Amino acid sequence: MPFGKGDGIAHGQVDGLRDPDADLPEEIRWQGKFITAKTRGRWEYVGRARGIRAAVILAVEDGHILLVEQYRVPLGKPCIELPAGLIGDEDGGEGEVALAAAGRELEEETGYRAARLTNCGEFYSSPGMVSEAFTLVRAQGLTKVGDGGGVAGENIAVHRVPLDGIEDFITDARVRGAGIDTRILLALGQTILGDGL
């Protein structure tokens, strides 16, 4: 059920919406193990090394959403996020598909296994600065099979939050100094849009 079908845009192109720098060569300025800094004309941006993508999991069931919290060095503090992980980042995993990665990451991070995983499409979280895309995956039919917490060295806390208490949970997290990932907006949609839904 990917979103965006039937929007009248052919192959992502809209007449007149092209940047003059788009046809200039891309130059790699620096490359590390996980990210690459690039320029194209006047644009500076980063991307994942080796074309690795991410799977982000929306796991909502029985009026609760599964969230994870982990320390993020670039932020200098813990961050509340949807469960997520890289697709094909393990040795020999180059051919891994988004749904397989989502199932693996959901179980590693939260300790839950999903009976059904649905690909909701590809999205970009900060397209003016980062070329990375993520695949949003909806997880349903959840069964607790372990403790979660991630793999060695990740130290992930799992939160099962009632949807009708998500605003208070986020407020409390901010008060104690945690960052909030933009994808948490999925859980706040009705609250933010109000009667517009």
pLDDT tens string 122-179: 999 888 899 888 999 999 999 999 999 888 878 899 999 999 999 999 999 999 999 9
pTM: 0.84
Q: Does 155 reside within a domain?
A: yes
Return phi, psi of residue 175, to 5°.
-60, -40
Which two three-digit tokens encode residue 82?
Answer: 């949807």
Is the pLDDT reported for residue 8 higher than 60? no
The band of 10, judged by pLDDT with boundaries at 50, 70 and 90, is: very low
Mean pLDDT of the chain: 87
DSSP string, 99-162: HHHHHHHHHHHHSEEEEEEEEEEEEES-TTTB--EEEEEEEEEEEE-S----STT---EEEEEE
Q: Does 7 reside within a domain?
A: no
Q: Would you state the pLDDT for residue 6?
A: 47
**29-65 confidence digits (pLDDT tens):** 999 988 999 999 999 999 888 777 899 999 999 999 9
Task: Classify each residue of 32-48 as buried b or exposed e, where b means 16 or more C-beta atoms within 10 Å of its C-beta.
Answer: eeeebebebeeeebbbb
Which two three-digit tokens encode residue 2?
Answer: 């990917």
Domain total of the chain: 1
Q: Does 107 reside within a domain?
A: yes
Residue 97, domain CATH: 3.90.79.10
Residues 126 and 93: beta-carbon distance below 8 Å: no
Residue span of the structural domain in which 171 resides: 53-191
